[in-house]
A and B are shown apart, each in its own frame.
Chain A
């Protein structure tokens, strides 16, 4: 007991000299955090490509798509579970993630509001401190008539500011360019470069896209509906083509990974999420809605939220669901995972393949797990620094150790004392390193670099691993200096001043 205390005290009073060793451990910890979160699957940025396209970390659907316990107990909506096929028109990502809701239907609470007032949602959602931004998903149904037939398209408004600052959507533009601030309100559009993959007409940069937008009418309940009989033509200039690469497969191993395959990886099949969406600036969409007879503010079927820290997104979702009981709240990551389980939302023929791959595979893992080797290396280096430091420290403390032995300390106890010091210094370093990464993540998020921030996703488990590594390494490597200290001969140390 005494020697544990002495070890702690020694670590503390010697902190300035041990700082380098602690720093080494800290750096090892930082690298480990990154490596662990890499192997835990965050290089894909935890469904980052899905989040980028959806434009949010959390999705709020107007209708209560999720049957909750309160519905079953009848507390909120007595006896009101109904089988419902959702209307295709309000257009949400739910249609992409879960098409069955729009064809087969599902059991869900009756009486849910079909559309939301985005401002009201924003006000309530922003009360949750984890929420950073609210992104109403403005969309209009549209038809594209070509010689080959009529195609259902969907006009979608993008928030240019968020796209630039948070999502860097411009990186997914493969031809032409992304919107510029001056494009707000102008009839310009981005379409999926791979539209032909799902049987839609291909479009070229610079071409004109002709769509039919149905007239917006209002029912007796005040809800808008779309009158296709009175559709009017709209012309948009295609300024760019984008793709949404979501997952890829290593053809050799069969493993499926999140995001885009690293450049130069051989034997890869990249999967894309192709939708009939026609992206326009949000302002343009609102103008089109007004021109079609819609009244502002435009109601929405879906709101996307950007959170400060994706690590705690599920907690935020839980609190938001409590704040918004009449709506359905889900994280994009979870939504993507649910869809992934059914081989979606990538295009149909890939779907079967992806479905066969199942979800058990490391859907969000990096290809080469260099983690263990890297962690071993950095901890090895840090441990060597620790040993060098301890040897110097122990040498400088020979007299003191001799006195302790003269007073009756056993070799084993001196060993304990030095090991405790080693342990304390490495644990301090490791915790500092862990916090450093947390801090870097925070800075990243504050400076809008979510793609980097995603790397730092850390957990109690990561910290647990770090502590384990620190304990293991410092005990193993600390043995040499501790042994030296324990073996010290008292008289020699006490001979001289």
Chain B
């Protein structure tokens, strides 16, 4: 790690946005495996409402760890995350689960659908957790599946769908509760370039048309075209911030 990089001025990743919806403040996360490894090291970050942020960097640079901290799936050793005015450090596990079910949408590399539930039921799940009435739930799930182009396959089980289709179901599921922010960890990591393009376009569409905020961890160029900002991570730190093609 070069001193120049580590002395990146504070606030570089904290873009001049009027109202950040998601903020990370001096975020640190370490793992102890014989020696202490800082997976996330003093990360400061502010993501604006409606922003499309791509996080990139070499494998092991701490991208996934950062995302899990932002999503409240893991606790930092110091620092804090503030989502829509809520400080994670003030919440217990239940509170964080409540935040996840109402304000955050997750998309993973391995799709991670519930295998024994149909596409529709997968999309319904977070809405059931959030206690949305049944009719409303069904309407929204069907609408979302239509939006991702899977209206005809809503009763298929995940394993009856291709990788790209599964990921589209996952996108619909992430958007189900109209989250403040969608966190995606290598969403195209398991897809070929053509389906990756499709997924990229879908993200962009939700971002442009619905103003959905996205934080996407990805090496794939497909997202750069739609990004406002591209954050580069190395050894747990954000070492460079580029303007995205829409930035």
Provide the residues of chain B in CB contact with A232, threshold 8 Å: none
Kindly supply a per-residue 1/0 record for chain A positions 409-427, scoring 1 wherever the CB is within 8 Å of any chain B CB and 0 otherwise: 1111100000000000000
The answer to whether A2 touches B97, judged by C-beta atoms less than 8 angstroms apart, is no
Q: Known contacts A2-B125, A399-B112, A491-B64: does B101 contact A407 (CB below 8 Å)?
A: yes
The answer to whether B106 touches A9, judged by C-beta atoms less than 8 angstroms apart, is no
Tell which of B93, B110, B173 touches A407, judged by Cβ atoms closer than 8 Å.
Answer: B173
Kindly supply a per-residue 1/0 record for chain A positions 369-407, scoring 1 wherever the CB is within 8 Å of any chain B CB and 0 otherwise: 000000000000000000000000000000110111111
Provide the residues of chain B in CB contact with A1, threshold 8 Å: 128
Q: Which residues of chain B from 68 to 113 have a CB within 8 Å of any chain A CB?
A: 68, 71, 73-74, 93-94, 97-98, 100-102, 106, 108, 110, 112-113
Q: Known contacts A2-B129, A491-B68, A491-B74: does B114 contact A408 (CB below 8 Å)?
A: no
> In the docked arrangement, what's the CA distance between A407 and B105, Å?
7
The answer to whether A408 touches B130, judged by C-beta atoms less than 8 angstroms apart, is yes
> In the docked arrangement, what's the CA distance between A400 and B130, Å?
18
The answer to whether A407 touches B74, judged by C-beta atoms less than 8 angstroms apart, is no
Size of A's binding interface in residues, CB under 8 A: 24
B135 interface residue (CB < 8 Å to A): no
A13 interface residue (CB < 8 Å to B): yes
> In the docked arrangement, what's the CA distance between A456 and B230, Å?
74
A-B contact count, CB below 8 Å? 66
The answer to whether B102 touches A408, judged by C-beta atoms less than 8 angstroms apart, is yes
B194 interface residue (CB < 8 Å to A): no
The answer to whether B108 touches A494, judged by C-beta atoms less than 8 angstroms apart, is yes
The answer to whether A410 touches B116, judged by C-beta atoms less than 8 angstroms apart, is no
> In the docked arrangement, what's the CA distance between A478 and B73, Å?
25
**Interface hub of A9, A402, A489, A494 (most chain B Cβ within 10 A):** A494
Provide the residues of chain B in CB contact with A403, threshold 8 Å: 108, 112-114
Provide the residues of chain A in CB contact with B68, threshold 8 Å: 490-491
B156 interface residue (CB < 8 Å to A): no
Q: Which residues of chain B from 3 to 22 have a CB within 8 Å of any chain A CB?
A: none
Provide the residues of chain A in CB contact with B64, threshold 8 Å: 491, 495
Besides A406-B73, A490-B74, 7 other CB < 8 A contacts?
A2-B129, A9-B116, A407-B106, A408-B130, A410-B98, A490-B73, A491-B73
* Complex A-B, nearest 8 residue pairs according to Cβ-Cβ distance, in ascending order: A408-B101, A2-B128, A410-B97, A408-B100, A490-B73, A403-B112, A408-B129, A491-B68
21 pairs, CB–CB < 8 Å, chain A vs chain B: A400-B114, A403-B113, A403-B114, A405-B97, A406-B100, A406-B106, A406-B108, A406-B112, A407-B101, A407-B106, A407-B173, A408-B97, A408-B130, A410-B94, A412-B94, A489-B74, A490-B73, A491-B65, A491-B74, A494-B108, A497-B110
